[in-house]
C-alpha cells in the first residue's frame, strides 16, 4: 500500500513537470504571438525552409574543384581521391597536358552524389588541395538519379 | 410542430458542437503535446497561404482520410467489417444528447431546456452506451479474421470489465449525495452552497469518488496510459485491418470519448453549467455584493462556463496522455480489480457513514 502511494506521488509529480513545461512555453508563445520579443522562445524548433540554422565552420558539404590562376583545374589526375573513396563515387580520366610542369589533367571528373557518403577522405587525400567540400550546399536532393552525377564543368564553376 | 422544430434544432446544435470540438481536439492534442515537449506542432496546413496556428490541420487530415482507399480484406466478413466502426461511433455520439449545456432558456414565453433529452436515467444511459461502444472494438477484432486483431479486441474486453465496475461504483457516491439519476437534477443540486460560500460541487462532496472516476474514465477513453486494445506504438491493435475513413472513425471515436468524459466530469463533479454564485437573476456574492443580469446574459454565462470546464478537462486528459507510459496488461488488471474497486467500495461506505451523521 505504501508503495502504491509512492507511485501516486511520482505520477502526480510527472504531470506537474509536463504541465509546468506547457504553461511556461505557452506563456512565451503568447508573448511572441503579440509581437513582444523575449530572450527565451517557447520552442526550440527552427522553421526549416524559411529559417535555416548556421552550418558549422568545419562542415562537409557539396564538393568543388579548385582552379589555377589561369582557370584550368588544379587537379593533376593522380587518382588518390578515387582510390581512397570508400563508396567509389569518384571517376577520373586523365589526359596529357601540353604544359610540361603540369603533365596531367583530368579530362573527365565525375562525382556520383547518390553514392557519396560525405566522409571527406578525398579532401584529405588530395596532395594539390584541388578538391574541397566547403560550398555550404547541403540541400542536394534531386528527382532524378542522373541529376546527381556531377561532371567536371559543374564542379569547377560552382559559386563559392 | 414548433416543439418538434425546437428538438431538431437542439439536436443539430448538440451534434455539431460535439463533432466540431472532437475534430479540433485532434488539433489541440497535436499543439498541446508539442508545447509540452518544447516543440511548435502542426502549423503548415494552409488555405491560400493563410495558416492560423495550423487550424486547418483537421481539415487536411480529414481530406487525407477520405481520399485513401476504403479497403476490406477478402478474408473478413464484409458487412460486419463495415459495421464495426459505425457501432463504436454511434454509441458514443448518442451520449451527447443527455448532457445539459445550460439552464432553461426563456424565449417568447416558452421554456427551452438546453439539453436534447432529459432522461430520468441519464447516468445509466451514458454508462450503458459507453460500455456498448466496446462492442465495436470486439467486433472489429473478431471480424477482421486476423489473430492479432482478435487479441486486441480481447484486450479491449478484458480492460472493459476491469474498469467499468469501478466506473459505476465511483458514481454511486455521487448518486447518494445528489439523490437522482437525472443529469439536470444532479446539476440543479450543485447550485446550492456549502457553509454559505463554497459551491456544492461534486468534487467537494466526493473527492475520492472524483479521483476514482477520472482514472476509470481515462481507461474508458482507451488512450495512452490505458491504450491496450490498440497499442499504436508497439503491439498490434484491433483496427489493423482498417484503412482510410473507417480507421479515421475509430480515431475520431477516441476523441469523442475524451470530450464526453470531460462533459461527464463537468456535469457530475464540477457543477455542470453553474458559475459560482450566479443565480437566475444575477450574481449574489457571499460577501454581500450583488450584480443583477438579464436572463439571456445569465444563460450565456452558463453555456460559456460549461464550455470552459469541458476545455479544462480535455486539456487535463491530453496532458495525462502525453505524460505517462502505457500500463502493462497485468498492471491494468491489478489496478482495476485490486485498487480501484476496493477504493470505490470504501468511498461508498465512507459516504454512507458521513451522510448518516
SS (HEC) of B227-294:
CCCCCCCCCCCCCCCCCHHHHHHHHHHHHHHHHHHHHHHHHHHCCCCCCCCEECCEEECCCCCEEECC
Query: What pLDDT, on the 0 to 100 scale, is given for residue B103?
Result: 86
Q: How far apart are CA B118 and CA B38, in angstroms?
A: 44
Instruction: From A130, A135, A91, A89, select the one nearest A109 (Cα to Cα).
Output: A91
Looking at the fold, whether A38 and A72 belong to one and the same domain comes out as: no
Residue A30 falls inside a structural domain: yes
Query: What pLDDT, on the 0 to 100 scale, is given for residue A160?
Result: 52
Looking at the fold, whether A107 and A134 belong to one and the same domain comes out as: yes
Looking at the fold, whether A68 and A143 belong to one and the same domain comes out as: yes
Looking at the fold, whether A143 and A107 belong to one and the same domain comes out as: yes
Query: What pLDDT, on the 0 to 100 scale, is given for residue B286?
Result: 82
Dihedral (C-alpha) A30, A31, A34, A38: value to the nearest 10 degrees?
A: -140
Residue A29 falls inside a structural domain: yes
Query: What pLDDT, on the 0 to 100 scale, is given for residue A19?
Result: 93
Q: How far apart are CA B347 and CA B10, in angstroms?
A: 37
Of B35, B40, B320, the CB nearest to A22: B35
Nearest chain B CA: its distance from A52 CA (Å): 16
Residue A56 falls inside a structural domain: no
Instruction: From A46, A51, A52, select the one nearest A138 (Cα to Cα).
Output: A52
Looking at the fold, whether A96 and A146 belong to one and the same domain comes out as: yes
Would you list the domain boundaries of chain B? 77-356
Looking at the fold, whether A108 and A40 belong to one and the same domain comes out as: no
Low-confidence ranges of chain B (pLDDT < 70): none
Residue A51 falls inside a structural domain: no
Looking at the fold, whether A91 and A141 belong to one and the same domain comes out as: yes
Looking at the fold, whether A75 and A152 belong to one and the same domain comes out as: yes
φ and ψ at residue B4, rounded to 5 degrees:
-60, -40
Residue A126 falls inside a structural domain: yes
Q: What percent of chain B has pLDDT over 70?
A: 100
| A chain contacts of residue B34, beta-carbon cutoff 8 Å | 43
Q: Which residue of A has its CA nearest to B317?
A: A15
Domain of A28? 1-45
| Interchain contact, B322 vs A4, CB within 8 Å | no
Looking at the fold, whether A109 and A148 belong to one and the same domain comes out as: yes
A89 pLDDT higher than 60: yes
Looking at the fold, whether A113 and A35 belong to one and the same domain comes out as: no
Residue A58 falls inside a structural domain: no
| Interchain contact, A43 vs B324, CB within 8 Å | no
Looking at the fold, whether A31 and A98 belong to one and the same domain comes out as: no
| Interchain contact, B324 vs A44, CB within 8 Å | no
A2 pLDDT higher than 80: no
What is the CATH number for A116?
Answer: 3.30.70.3270
Q: How many residues does chain A have?
A: 160
Nearest chain A CA: its distance from B304 CA (Å): 22
Residue A93 falls inside a structural domain: yes
Q: Which residues of B touch A (CB under 8 A)?
A: 32, 34-40, 319-320, 322-324, 339
Residue A50 falls inside a structural domain: no
Dihedral (C-alpha) B102, B216, B321, B25: value to the nearest 10 degrees?
A: -30
Q: Which residues of A touch B (CB under 8 A)?
A: 4, 11, 14-15, 17-19, 21-22, 25-26, 29, 42-45, 47
| B chain contacts of residue A21, beta-carbon cutoff 8 Å | 35-38
In chain A, the number of structural domains is: 2
Q: How many residues does chain B have?
A: 357
Amino acid at each position: 500500500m505504501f508503495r502504491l502511494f509512492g507511485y501516486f506521488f511520482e505520477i502526480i509529480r510527472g504531470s506537474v513537470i509536463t504541465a509546468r513545461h506547457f504553461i511556461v512555453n505557452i506563456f512565451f508563445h503568447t508573448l511572441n504571438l503579440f509581437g513582444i520579443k523575449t530572450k527565451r522562445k517557447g520552442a526550440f524548433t527552427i522553421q526549416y525552409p524559411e529559417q535555416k540554422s548556421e552550418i558549422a565552420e568545419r562542415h562537409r558539404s557539396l564538393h568543388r574543384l579548385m582552379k589555377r590562376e589561369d582557370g584550368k583545374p588544379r587537379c593533376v589526375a593522380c587518382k588518390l581521391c578515387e582510390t581512397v573513396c570508400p563508396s567509389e563515387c569518384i571517376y577520373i580520366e586523365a589526359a596529357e597536358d601540353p604544359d610540361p610542369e603540369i603533365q596531367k589533367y583530368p579530362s573527365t571528373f565525375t562525382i556520383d552524389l547518390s553514392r557519396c557518403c560525405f566522409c571527406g577522405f578525398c579532401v584529405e587525400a588530395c596532395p594539390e588541395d584541388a578538391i574541397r567540400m566547403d560550398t555550404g550546399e547541403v540541400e542536394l536532393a534531386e528527382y532524378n538519379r542522373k541529376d546527381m552525377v556531377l561532371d567536371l564543368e559543374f564542379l569547377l564553376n560552382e559559386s563559392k | 410542430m414548433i416543439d418538434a422544430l425546437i428538438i431538431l434544432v437542439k439536436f443539430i446544435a448538440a451534434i455539431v458542437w460535439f463533432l466540431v470540438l472532437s475534430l479540433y481536439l485532434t488539433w489541440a492534442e497535436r499543439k498541446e503535446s508539442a508545447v509540452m515537449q518544447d516543440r511548435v506542432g502542426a502549423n503548415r496546413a494552409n488555405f491560400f497561404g493563410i495558416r492560423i496556428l495550423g487550424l486547418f490541420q483537421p481539415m487536411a487530415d480529414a481530406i487525407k482520410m477520405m481520399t485513401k482507399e476504403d479497403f476490406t480484406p477478402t478474408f473478413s466478413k464484409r458487412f460486419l467489417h463495415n459495421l464495426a466502426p459505425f457501432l463504436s461511433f454511434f454509441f458514443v455520439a448518442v451520449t451527447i444528447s443527455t448532457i445539459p449545456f445550460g439552464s432553461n432558456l426563456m424565449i417568447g414565453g416558452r421554456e427551452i431546456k438546453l439539453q436534447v433529452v432529459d432522461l430520468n436515467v441519464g447516468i445509466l444511459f451514458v454508462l450503458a452506451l459507453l460500455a456498448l461502444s466496446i462492442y465495436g472494438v470486439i467486433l472489429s477484432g473478431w471480424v477482421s479474421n486476423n489473430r492479432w486483431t482478435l487479441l486486441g479486441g480481447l484486450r479491449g474486453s478484458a480492460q472493459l470489465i476491469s474498469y467499468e465496475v469501478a466506473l459505476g461504483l465511483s458514481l454511486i457516491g455521487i448518486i447518494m449525495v445528489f439523490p437522482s439519476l437525472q443529469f439536470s437534477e444532479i446539476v440543479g443540486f450543485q447550485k446550492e452552497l456549502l457553509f454559505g460560500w463554497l459551491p456544492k460541487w461534486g468534487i467537494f462532496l466526493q473527492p475520492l469518488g472524483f479521483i476514482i472516476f477520472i482514472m476509470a474514465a481515462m481507461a474508458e477513453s482507451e488512450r495512452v496510459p490505458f491504450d491496450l486494445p490498440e497499442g499504436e506504438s508497439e503491439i498490434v491493435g484491433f483496427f489493423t485491418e482498417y484503412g482510410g475513413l473507417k480507421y479515421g472513425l475509430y480515431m475520431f471515436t477516441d476523441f469523442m470519448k475524451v470530450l464526453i468524459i470531460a462533459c461527464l466530469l463537468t456535469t457530475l463533479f464540477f457543477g455542470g453549467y453553474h458559475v459560482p454564485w450566479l443565480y437566475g437573476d444575477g450574481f449574489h456574492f457571499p460577501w454581500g455584493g450583488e450584480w443583477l443580469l438579464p436572463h439571456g446574459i445569465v444563460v450565456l454565462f452558463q453555456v460559456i462556463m460549461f464550455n470552459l470546464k469541458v476545455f479544462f478537462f480535455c486539456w487535463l486528459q491530453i496532458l495525462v496522455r502525453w505524460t505517462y507510459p502505457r500500463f502493462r496488461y497485468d498492471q491494468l488488471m491489478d489496478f482495476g480489480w485490486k485498487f480501484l474497486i476496493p477504493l470505490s467500495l470504501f468511498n461508498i461506505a465512507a459516504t454512507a457513514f458521513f451522510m448518516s451523521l
